[in-house]
Chain A
Amino acid sequence: MATERLLIIGNGMAATRLLQELVSQGYAGRITVVGDEPGVGYNRIQLTPWLADEVDEPDLDLVDRAWYDRSGIELISADAVIELDPTGFARTASGRTLPFDRCVFATGALPRLPDCPYPEQPAIRAFRSKTDGHWLKDLPTGRDVVVIGGGLLGLEAAWGLRQRGQNVTLVHRNRHLMNRQLSAATARYLENAFRDAGIAVRLQASLQSIQAEPVLRGVTLDTGEHLAADALIAAAGIRPNTDLARQAGLTVERGIVVDHHLRTSHPRLFALGECAEFQGRTFGLVNPAYQQARILAGVLCGQTRFYAVAEESTRLKISGLDVVSMGDIAHPDARQITLDNPRQRQCRRLHVLNDRLIGFEMVGTVDHADIYQDLIDRDTPIHDARSVLLGQAAAA
């Protein structure tokens, strides 16, 4: 039997982990991976520490180039698949044709850019890539930067930029930061930490207009406030990158629809990571992508593996400011057990319903997060919520 040719489109974190899994699980075929960014797969999560000069650029790389060679993987970087024939051919922007037996979509997601009109320019951008990072690192200090979006991405971008000495204003549409992962009271700690760090925070506000003719000068919020801006960072969410899949005729809802084997509507095509949609859910966190990579590598190696969504905790990746959240933190009937430590900006909150831990959130500390997560995962009955809060799993 001829050696299988496996094509992986995209070279982000999901793709790189898939490659690692395939190697470690002994995949026997020939692998080609195509990424539109230059260089090897790198750790996007570390962009904020890099921006804050806490890590060096080479440390972002998840593997080195020699690894591809050693593992017999053909790496095509700074090129993009622009056309795909599900029967076994892909064409890249540079004009290469790549035949394949099976193919994996790891095309990731695209940032949501402002929907009000503005002329495209470098100063209005996302913070998703090394290119974004380089541009932001090159920005002289003391500039006015507006970050749109008070979720994980926006918080990380704002924090990193503030570390670089920029005057940062964070604009968030909701009443409180990280509103999907934190309750309002918990989010207050986060907000205070941001304000303490010198970041201006505007809640319940969104962009109304951008003054960017010919270059960015400022923005106006729907609250009427005008903010000076030398740079505008869009971090108000992402959308799965499904253009190619759509063009190839695959079933696409919000993301590329996959089944338990991470197979798309076409039997030879697979998808994982931010571009994929499974049981109506899309994924913005790295852990599900990694889990999918493990399952998909097994499937591609010929095993029967099933993917199931695991409850994930969300962790903000800002050094010195721990934020963890998991499960349901908004159930109206849940009892809330809280440890507040305003002076040290720490807070832990458990959400308990019917003697089960259904969610937790914490700021300024990650103590016992593993215990809490385990109690949620195992649906363990809890007898003494107070002791559980203090990390005594035995009370569960």
Chain B
Amino acid sequence: MSAVHTTCAYCGVGCGVEVPGRGDRSVRVKGLASHPANGGRLCVKGTHLGDTLPLKDRLLYPSIDGRDTDWDTAVELIAGRLQVALDEYGPDSIGFYLSGQLLTEDYYVANKLAKGFLGTANVDTNSRLCMSSAVAAHTRAFGEDLVPGNYDDLEQADLVVLVGSNLAWAHPVLFQRLQNARQHNPHKQLIVIDPRRTETAEAADLHLPLKPGTDGRLLNGLLAWLADRNQIDRAYIDTHTQGFDDTLAQAREHAGTDLPQLAEDCGLRLADVQSFFNTFAATEKTVTAWSMGINQSRSGVDKSQTIINLHLATGRIGKPGAAPFSITGQPNAMGGREVGGLANQLAAHRDFAPENVDAVEQFWQAKRMARQPGLKAVDLFRAAAEGRIKVLWILATNPLASMPDAPLVKKALERVETVIVSDVVQHTDTVAYADIVLPALAWGEKDGTVTNSERCLSRQRGFLIPPGQAKPDWWALARVGQSLGHTEAFAYERAADVFREHARLSTLNTDSHRQFNLTGLDSLTPADYDNLQPVQWPLSDDGEPTPRLFSDGRFATPDGKARFIPVTPEEPTESTDRLRLNTGRIRDQWHSMTRTGFAPRLTQHRRDFTLAMHPIDADRLGIAADALVRVHNEQGRFLARADLTDTVQPGQLFAPMHWNQTFASEGGVAQVIPPKVDPLAGQPESKHALVDVEPVPIAVHGLYVGFNLPTPLLDGAHWFKHHLNGMTVWQLFYTDATVTDLRQRLNLDATDLILSDDHDHWFQAISRPPTNNPHWLSLSEHPIAEPDTDWLEQQFDQGNDSMDDWVRGQPAGDLDRGKLVCTCFNVRDKQIAEYLEENTEAGLEDVQQALKCSTSCGSCLTEVVKIVETSVTTPG
């Protein structure tokens, strides 16, 4: 069997993945050595892609109102509903909500169907939540949504400034490349600007823990400071840009020229600000990379602009090791941008200018062309909640978990007459509200192309037989298009047909100032398409890829000049008596956990839905470590467990974005995120919510490990759950129950181990094989020490005779194995500490050699280094 080369399903780095062969759902994948993005490396999530392939909870058949049906019936019904909506309410009553998880081909057909044949531009995507601020900034400054640099630049730069990016966790392979480069270049500096002391910040030469939302001010301050010291590239500014003087004036106005004042405004130490400014001034080869910390803001476009302004002013763009670099979150956010899968884009990097609409209409032979931008994500759901959207088709995303103001989204899903959801799993927060559910292909089954953060277009190839009636999304969309009578326009037989059309459309840009162009890829045969190697567009006339844009100083504006934009990014609202909630990714989970939540190894790193808070705040609010806490504001509320840590500053909180109502009874940071958006990009300010936090008093704690939690236990319970290999772990909390009440809800007939206390302070029931419902349940008035659930699950398979081990939930003599650090090699902190105790002279490399931790994906390197350093500095 020959290996299959494909592309990872997760973040925007877009790593190449090698799969050993076809047809195996239990494969171990490895990094593809020949892929330019990763050169063989993979992060933890990528390494465990194979763990997400089993069909657990998989959607297999189309269904209507919860009843399985066939594709013909479903397609006909969808077409009928769309036609009715068109006839009775007009095109604007139809909406599509897409995803950066879709392949370019899926995106293309959705966009074409909506904008060319249903006449609605209400086509938005979860990329709106991710990088639309960067898109808008690129377009405004460069004339087109173009990412000038590439990953090599991160390696070649002598200074990398990361703004609002926890690269170590969110883009681990890029971080690894960066760290590798630092090892080889001792002069290379890493400066991290982030309110939190993230793993990335810990690894930096300088961390600027600024006050949330003051990044724009700091960077404007830097621009003014550089100009005052003649540290700008006048020649470059004069030749290749417009608008510098106004921009500089506004930066001065905004940030002032008083450095101590600026430092204070940003909550930083003056020395750190000086150090940052001096290093920036002195380092020609500088890359400033940013992610959601900048984008997810009420002023995301303007903040992005402050970064672009700095690079334009210093001429550090289009050169090796010098670029402003937006790093996207999703595997195909860039592909979606290329086809125009945003409400304010039309197609092929064109907007809704009349000549663009005409050109695309002609190309598509469109029957009902959208001529105006449509509703962006937040507005789309608001319109839906107001009853203005009659049919909403959601593909490959879980907006109820990811959109801000989840209560509004819920109202929207309830209000829309026909909600269509295309997904791969049966249970997501959103699927629960669907009228029509369509089974889509998952990673490993779907076939098409994606574009990563450095414009590198690669193939995602299928190597598995699709289960049940699951179909590609482009196919489902095309079937609906045909059912509406557009037989020719949607007569695609394979993904290659779609790609070819998309590439041909892009060639309309030839001879324009637009640089997105897939000329050279517009006539691929199916075989060429199958064999397509990773390529950075645009291709030169002789077919060579373009690693770097703007190298000649020409931008995608009509006059070829980049635009400085004077900006004063608005800062988020402060409050003296409320806490500021920040949100983001954790290392081993992806989005709303619909896939990674089923890979047990990925759950080990951080099992709980936690709210990071500073001990000072916790103390003031009477919150103990691990306590159940309610986070709430006028928007909504969620429940998490308190993680007391000084990685967040006093007054600030952090919660991961992943946990939603599938994994927590009152999950979802989205519940409290206000629908405050950037005025240009429409991107929500997901990184900032003012909230109150209070402890939730617990009368009874519960923990269940098994397949089916007895439903009576859910009554009145707050819960969190995570998956093991086959079993699920439920953490239960009751505010108003007694152990006696709960015990009486259980049928204990099949239970073979019962630990009880006749005063009912606690109760434990275990049902071991052979039984048709093996489980482990503990109820107690006190917090329950979590058993070794991995061990427990193994015992359910293998059997173990020690009642004590069963009851304790871990083998004797193994009472504390410590916290998992390295997911790749399953190494725990205790093992590292023990090794260091035995080998007092050992350093990082010895640890890596002996235990292998941090030598594969490297995501845990910072943690391992910390353990080694702590051990060295601890006397004795």
Contact surface of A with B, Cβ cutoff 8 Å: 335-344, 346, 365, 367-368, 385-386, 389-391
Contact with A along B793-837 (1 / 0, CB 8 A): 000000000011001100010000000000000000000000000
Check B807 against A335 for contact (C-beta < 8 Å): no
Pull 23 A–B residue pairs with CB atoms less than 8 Å apart, ordered by A. A335-B758, A335-B759, A337-B755, A337-B756, A337-B757, A337-B758, A339-B755, A339-B803, A340-B754, A340-B755, A341-B753, A341-B754, A341-B803, A342-B754, A346-B803, A367-B803, A385-B757, A386-B757, A386-B762, A389-B755, A390-B807, A390-B808, A391-B812
Q: A335-B757, A335-B758, A390-B808 are in contact. Are A342 and B803 (CB under 8 A)?
A: no
Q: Does B70 touch A at the CB level, under 8 Å?
A: no
User: Told that A337-B755, A337-B758, A340-B756 touch, could you supply 5 new A-B pairs with CB distance under 8 A?
Assistant: A337-B756, A342-B752, A346-B803, A385-B757, A389-B755
Q: Provide the residues of chain A in CB contact with B757, threshold 8 Å.
A: 335-338, 385-386
A344 and B759 contact, Cβ closer than 8 Å, known pairs A367-B803, A391-B804: no
Q: Looking at the assembled complex, report how far the CB atom of A386 sits from the nearest CB atom of chain B, in whole angstroms.
A: 7
**Contact call B756/A338, Cβ cutoff below 8 A:** yes
Assess whether B804 is in contact with A390, with CB atoms less than 8 Å apart. Answer: yes
Q: Are B754 and A339 in contact (CB under 8 A)?
A: yes
Measured CB to CB, the closest approach of chain B to A336, in angstroms, equals: 4
Interface contact A365-B803, CB-CB below 8 Å: yes
In the complex formed, the residue of A with least CB distance to B770 is A343
User: Smallest Cβ distance from A193 to chain B, in angstroms?
Assistant: 16
| In the complex, chain A residues whose CB is within 8 Å of the CB of B752 | 341-344
Q: How far is the CA of A31 from the CA of B304 in the complex (A)?
A: 106
Tell me, in angstroms, the Cα distance from A336 to B760 when the chains sit together: 10
Taking CB atoms, residues of chain B closer than 8 Å to A367 are 803-804
Contact of A338 among B755, B808, B812 (CB under 8 A): B755
Query: Which A residues are in CB contact (< 8 Å) with B803?
Result: 339, 341, 346, 365, 367
CA of A344 to CA of B751, assembled, Å: 11
Find chain A residues with CB under 8 A from B758 CB.
335-338
Report the bound CA distance from A342 to B756 in whole Å: 13
Q: How far is the CA of A340 from the CA of B755 in the complex (A)?
A: 6
Residues of chain B lying within 8 A (CB to CB) of residue A389: 755
User: Taking CB as reference atom, which chain B residue is nearest A389?
Assistant: B755
Q: Which residues of A contact B759 (CB under 8 A)?
A: 335
The CA of A385 and the CA of B755, in the complex, are separated in Å by: 11
Closest CB of chain B to A363's CB: distance in Å? 13
Beta-carbon nearest neighbor of B765 in chain A: A340
CB of A369 to closest CB in B, whole Å: 13
Tell me, in angstroms, the Cα distance from A349 to B235 when the chains sit together: 88
- For chain B residues 579-623, which have a beta carbon within 8 Å of chain A? none
3 closest A-B pairs (Cβ-Cβ)?
Answer: A343-B752, A340-B754, A336-B758
Contact indicator per residue, chain B 333-375, by CB within 8 Å of chain A (1) or not (0):
0000000000000000000000000000000000000000000
**What is the CB-to-nearest-CB distance from B163 to chain A, in angstroms, rounded to a whole number?**
50
Q: Which A residues touch B754, using CB under 8 A?
A: 338-342
Least CB distance from B816 to A in Å reads 13
* Residues from 726 to 774 in B contacting A, C-beta threshold 8 Å: 752-759, 762
A175 to chain B, nearest CB (A): 19
User: How far does the Cβ of A393 sit from chain B's closest Cβ, in whole Å?
Assistant: 12
Taking beta carbons and an 8 Å cutoff, which residues of B are in contact with A? 752-759, 762, 803-804, 807-808, 812
Bound Cα distance from A337 to B808, whole angstroms: 15
Q: Is the interface of A mostly helix, strand, loop or mixed?
A: mixed
Residues of B with C-beta under 8 A to A342? 752, 754
When distances are taken between beta carbons in the complex, the residues of chain B under 8 Å from A338 are 754-758
Once the chains bind, are A339 and B762 in contact (CB under 8 Å)?
Answer: no
Closest partner residue, chain A, to B812 (CB atom)? A391
Smallest Cβ-Cβ distance to B806: which chain A residue: A341
Distance of A339 Cα from B807 Cα, bound (Å): 9
Closest to A343 in B: B752
Closest CB of chain B to A65's CB: distance in Å? 44
Q: Which residues of A contact B753 (CB under 8 A)?
A: 339-341
Bound CA–CA A112/B752 (angstroms) = 40
A234 to chain B, nearest CB (A): 37
Contact partners of A391 in chain B: CB under 8 A:
804, 812
Q: Which residue of A lies closest to B780 (CB)?
A: A386
Smallest Cβ-Cβ distance to B753: which chain A residue: A341
Bound-complex Cα distance A340 to B803 (A):
10
Residues of A within 8 A of B808 (CB): 390
Give the CA-CA distance A343 to B812 in the complex, in Å: 22
A338 CA / B756 CA spacing, docked (Å)? 5
Which residues of chain B come closer than 8 Å to A365, judged between CB atoms? 803
In the assembled complex, the Cα of A184 lies from the Cα of B759 at a distance in Å of 18
Residue of A nearest to B766 (CB): A341
**A104–B807 CA distance with the chains assembled, in angstroms:** 51
B788 vs chain A, min Cβ distance (A): 14
User: Which residues of chain B are near A339, meaning CB under 8 Å?
Assistant: 753-755, 803, 807
Complex-state Cα separation, A141 to B758, whole angstroms: 45
The smallest beta-carbon distance between A214 and chain B, in angstroms, is: 52
CA distance A338 to B743 in the complex (A): 15
Among A338, A341, A342, max chain B CB count under 10 A is at A341
Q: How far is the CA of A368 from the CA of B759 in the complex (A)?
A: 23
Chain A residues with CB under 8 Å of B755's CB are 337-340, 386, 389
Among B762, B804, B808: residue with most chain A CB under 10 A = B804
Q: How far is B803's CA from A367's CA once the two chains are assembled, in angstroms?
A: 10
Q: A335 CA to B755 CA in the complex, in Å? A: 13
Closest to B802 in A: A367
Q: Shortest CB–CB separation between residue B811 and chain A, in angstroms? A: 12
Q: How far is the CA of A389 from the CA of B757 in the complex (A)?
A: 11
Q: Which residues of B contact A346 (CB under 8 A)?
A: 803
- List, in ascending order, chain B residues with CB within 8 A of A386's CB: 755, 757, 762
Cα(A317)–Cα(B20), bound, Å? 61
Residues in B with CB closer than 8 Å to A390 are 804, 807-808
Question: In angstroms, how far is the closest chain B Cβ from the Cβ of A360?
Answer: 14
Compute how far the CA of A346 lies from the CA of B807 in the bound complex, rounded to whole angstroms. 14
Contacts of B762 in A (CB 8 A): 386
Distance of A365 Cα from B807 Cα, bound (Å): 15
- In the bound complex, residues from chain B placing their C-beta under 8 Å from that of A368 are 804
A346 to B754, CA, bound (A): 11
Residues of chain B with a CB closer than 8 A to A340's CB: 753-756
Closest to B756 in A: A338
Chain A: minimal CB distance from B747 (Å): 14
Chain A residues near B812 (CB-CB < 8 A): 391
Task: Across the interface, name the chain A residue whose C-beta is closest to B804.
Answer: A390
- Which B residues are CB-close (under 8 A) to A335? 757-759
B868, chain A: closest CB distance, angstroms = 31
Closest CB of chain B to A173's CB: distance in Å?
27
Residues of B within 8 A of A341 (CB): 752-754, 803
Whole-angstrom distance from the CB of B728 to the nearest CB of chain A?
24
> Which A residues lie within 8 Å of B756 (CB)?
337-338, 340
Query: Would you give the shortest CB distance from B779 to chain A, in whole angstroms?
Result: 12
Q: Which B residues touch A337, using CB under 8 A?
A: 755-758
A242–chain B nearest beta-carbon distance, Å: 42
In the bound complex, CA of A316 to CA of B754 (Å): 24
Whole-angstrom distance between the Cβ of A361 and the nearest chain B Cβ? 14
**How many angstroms between the C-alpha atoms of A368 and B804 in the bound complex?**
10
A356 CB, min distance to chain B CBs, angstroms: 16
Complex Cα–Cα for A338 and B804 (A) = 12
- The distance in angstroms between the C-alpha atoms of A342 and B755, with both chains bound, is 11
- What B residues does A336 contact at CB under 8 A? 757-758
Q: How far is A339 from B755 in the complex, measured between Cα atoms in Å?
A: 4
In Å, the complex CA distance between A344 and B753 comes to 9
B773 CB, nearest partner CB in chain A, Å: 14
Closest Cβ of chain B to A390, distance in Å, is: 4
Q: When chains A and B are docked, how far (Å) is the Cα of A337 from the Cα of B759?
A: 9
Quote the shortest CB–CB distance from A13 to chain B (angstroms): 34
Most-contacted residue by chain B among A335, A385, A386 (CB, 10 A)? A386
Task: For A344, list chain B residues within 8 Å (CB).
Answer: 752
Report the separation of the CA atoms of residues A284 and B753 in the bound assembly, to the nearest whole angstrom: 34
Taking the nearest CB of chain B, how far is it from the CB of A57, in angstroms? 35
Query: How many Å lie between the Cα of A342 and that of B754 in the bound state?
Result: 9
Contacts of A385 in B (CB 8 A): 757
| Complex-state Cα separation, A193 to B277, whole angstroms | 82
